Amino acid sequence: MSVTADMRAVVGSNAVRLEELRRFIEHEAELLDERRFDEWCDLYTEDAAYWVPATPEQESWLDHVSLFYDDKHTMRVRVQRLNHPRIHCQSPPSSCVRVISGVRLGEVTAAGAWLVRSKFVMVEDRPGNPQRVFGGRYSHTIVQEGERLRIRLKRVDLTNCDQSFPMLTQPF
């Protein structure tokens, strides 16, 4: 095989992988839109983190407050609250839609994880409340566990992360 053919094979396999990863990220958004929180939580590895920094370009959740920083245990607790029939901050429940675009494949780590970056807009509607619109960038670190793709880290960089937010309950 020539260098050109080798390069085409790599580019072709990356395109197939990127399409699979894009569909996976869109599936995650669909689970959240449909309030299928248990299934959403199951997309994450046991050592996963879900992180929404509170300042632009925040480098760590360890030395600065974050809007959200959930490990898998905290994600499960959040899901239990969201699923509870009498959760006061979601009465009536929000209706959300997330739109994802610009999905691109970043580096592949030595451990075989893919870094996938994308942009998003999320609209949240709740009867009796003003519509809320959030936008920003996602960074997903995705690994293969057996036959399944799983999320090891999801970082959500909101465009207005350093502003004041009334009650954030929905994952982005």
Domain ranges of the chain: 3-158
pLDDT digits (tens, 9 = 90+) for 44-74: 999 999 999 989 888 888 888 888 899 999 9
Contacts of 86 (CB under 8 A, 6+ apart): none
Q: Is 93 helix (H, G, I), strand (E, B) or coil?
A: coil
Instruction: Give the CATH number of domain 3-158.
Output: 3.10.450.50
Stated pTM of the model = 0.84
* 9, pLDDT greater than 60: no
pLDDT recorded at residue 164: 78
Q: Is 138 helix (H, G, I), strand (E, B) or coil?
A: strand
Residue 77, CB-side half-sphere exposure with 13 Å CA sphere: 6
